[in-house]
Structure formats: C-alpha cells, structure tokens
Structure 1
C-alpha cells in the first residue's frame, strides 16, 4: 500500500485558492497582485517536487544496493516487527 500524501489531494485546492486570490486581487485591489509572486511560488513548489523525486530515487538505489550486500536476513519471528519499527523510525533521521 503506498504512503498517503495529503499534498497530492490538496494541490487542486491550492490551485483553486491561488486562482481565487488572483481574481479577487485584480477586482478589488489591482495594485496588490503581482504575477511574479505566483510564478516564484509555483517554481519553488515544482523545484521541491523534483528534488523530492531525485532524492527519493537516490535513496531507493542506495537501499537496493545495501540489500544486495546484506549480512543477514530478518525473518518473520515476533521480534522482527518491533525491530523493524524502531529501525524505520531511525531511518527518518538518517535518510
């Protein structure tokens, strides 16, 4: 099951809010709206997404390489689940 990412579901809402803000600003206060601000925000969002994909792909390659040279295999014993839970939590700080 893939990880749930609320950002994926929120993007259409973000786009609608940006469009609503643009229309409101042009209607109520035309001097308040600066198109460059929107473009910079969109560029930062796109850059963040691309960087996440690149770093995620690199991490996947590192994990696949580490799997090929593993010293042992964790079986399906009862203690494997808490161990993997702790290791997964520590992975957050290392990767």
Structure 2
C-alpha cells in the first residue's frame, strides 16, 4: 500500500481492499460479541445494512460491484486508523 503525503492511503491491490472489508466485517462481529446494545445499534445503523448487500463470488472473492461507497470508505479508514501512531498525550496536556 502506497502512503500518500496527506490523507488516507488507498489500497493498491484488490487483495488489500478485500482484506480491509474483512477487517470491517470482523469489527461488526466483535460488536455483536461484546453484547453492548448501544455499540451494536450503532454498527447496525452505520454498517450493517450495507454489509448485508456485499456478495461473495463462487471463488471466494468479493463481488466488487456490490460494495457501496460507505463500505469502501469505512473499511479503508479502519485500515488507516490501525496504521496511525498512538497520540502523544503528554505533549497535549502541556
């Protein structure tokens, strides 16, 4: 994945993109496992209806035309946030 000078890096291959969508799907499953009703409601409202529309091809790959803009942006953003360094809290409080 190439890192742009500013902003969120986009996946450079289909494999990277499908991996990002997988991370989003796993995040949804973690919300259900947490039993936190508010978190589940938020995930279902923001992501659930869009993830339901994603189809898988017989060869196991994602059918790209079933992935809408929200899923694309959210999955790429989650990957980007995972790569960001933790905030430096000590300098913010000074």
State the TM-score bracket (shorter-chain normalisation). Answer: 0.3 to 0.5
Structure having the larger proportion of residues in helix = 1
Alignment TM-score, normalising by the size of structure 2: 0.33
Task: Identify the structure with bigger relative contact order (alpha carbons < 8 Å, sequence gap 6+).
Answer: 2
